[in-house]
Amino acid sequence: MMSIIKLENITKIYGKKDNEVRALSNVSLSIEKGEIVAVVGPSGSGKSTLLNIIGCIDSPTEGSYWLDNSLIKNSKQKDMARIRNERFGFVVQDFALVERYTVKKNVLIPLSYSSKKISKNRADELLERLGLSEKKNVLASDLSGGQRQRVAIARALINDPDIILADEPTGALDKNTGFEVMKILTELNEEGKTIIVVTHNSRVAEMCSRVITIEDGMIRNT
Ligand SMILES: Nc1ncnc2c1ncn2[C@@H]1O[C@H](COP(=O)(O)OP(=O)(O)OP(=O)(O)O)[C@@H](O)[C@H]1O
Ligand SMILES: [Mg+2]
């Protein structure tokens, strides 16, 4: 069976010589298409670093990364940017919305970096699906936390990516709102999206089909 994501002996070292930080050490893992995987582990263990490498935001120092059986070459920034935009949707803890933009304008941001042909109506459809139709023209600064994260999910989906990378998507939300956000992610998974969720919350991890634990930049074998 072909894995959608395959990492082999990935090592990531930040900084130089005396200030070297080994964020990941010989990480190997495979993720199958359609999985929803939780990544857990202590602060500083390398979870975000792992997500950034998978999402082509950052390159590993050593090791190989295959996306759909094709080797991601570290050198070509342009190719990395294209893959990032076409294949991945990103959701982060602090939502990363542009506060002075309306909800709809926030959702449309990734389109300006994309060559994918996307229908103009897609933003409206996504906002409707996420229960935000009435907030379309409201400034992001005027939303609640749960609403912000739903806008961020709509933005992550605008390019119709097949993989969603979520870095503590419920970290800034209360329990119920966090649960709502996870419900949206599990529904998207049921529709076929491959999803990786970094979390400190065991309830969130329990909603995933598999849990990967990272400690000190290494995957703990369970
Ligand atoms: N850009 C960077 N430059 C130097 N060191 C970095 C950089 N980014 C991360 N690190 C270091 O790499 C290690 C792993 O960081 P990472 O952000 O991946 O951890 P994390 O598991 O996501 O932690 P948290 O749960 O707190 O978000 C840490 O020691 C961190 O200080
Ligand atoms: Mg992190």
Question: In angstroms, what is the span from residue 184 Cα to ligand 2's centroid?
Answer: 21
* pLDDT of 100 strictly over 70: yes
* pLDDT of 136 strictly over 70: yes
Give pLDDT, residue 140: 97
Percent of the chain with pLDDT over 70: 98
In terms of pLDDT, which residue wins out, 27 or 79? 27
Per DSSP, the three-state class of 161 is: coil
- Ligand having the closest approach to the CA of 49: 1
Is the CB of residue 48 below 6 angstroms from any atom belonging to ligand 1? yes
Q: Which atom of ligand 1 is nearest to the CA of 168?
A: 27
Band (pLDDT 50/70/90 cuts) for residue 205 is very high
Give every CB contact of residue 214 below 8 A, 6+ residues apart in sequence: 27, 39, 40, 41, 45, 46, 47, 50, 220
> Which residue type occupies 111?
L
Judge: domain 34-59+73-220, CATH 3.40.50.2300: no
Q: Which atom of ligand 1 is nearest to the CA of 24?
A: 14
* pLDDT of 116 strictly over 90: no
Burial of residue 171 (number of CB atoms within 10 Å: 0-12, 13-18, 19+): middle
Angstrom distance (rounded) from CA 215 to CA 23: 10
Is the CB of residue 52 below 6 angstroms from any atom belonging to ligand 1? no
For the chain, the average pLDDT equals: 94
Is the CB of residue 49 below 6 angstroms from any atom belonging to ligand 1? yes
Task: Report residue 195: phi and psi, to 5°.
Answer: -135, 135
* pLDDT of 73 strictly over 80: no
Q: Which atom of ligand 1 is nearest to the CA of 214?
A: 21
pLDDT digit string, tens, across residues 179-195: 999 999 999 999 999 99
Give every CB contact of residue 125 below 8 A, 6+ residues apart in sequence: none
* pLDDT of 122 strictly over 70: yes
Quick one: which of 43, 13, 10 has its CA closest to 167?
43
Q: Which atom of ligand 1 is nearest to the CA of 50?
A: 18
State the angle between helix axes of 145-157 and 122-129 in degrees (0 to 180), rounded to the nearest 10. 140
Angstrom distance (rounded) from CA 169 to CA 152: 10
Angstrom distance (rounded) from CA 161 to CA 87: 5
Per-domain residue ranges of the chain = 34-59+73-220
Band (pLDDT 50/70/90 cuts) for residue 74 is low
Q: How many CB atoms lie within 10 A of CB 115?
A: 10
Give pLDDT, residue 1: 63
Q: Do the beta carbons of residue 35 and residue 164 sit within 8 Å? A: no
Rounded to an integer, the average pLDDT of 173-182 is: 94
The pTM is what? 0.95
Rounded to an integer, the average pLDDT of 53-57 is: 96
Query: Which of 10, 12, 14 should be mutated for ligand 1, with most atoms under 8 A from CB?
Result: 14
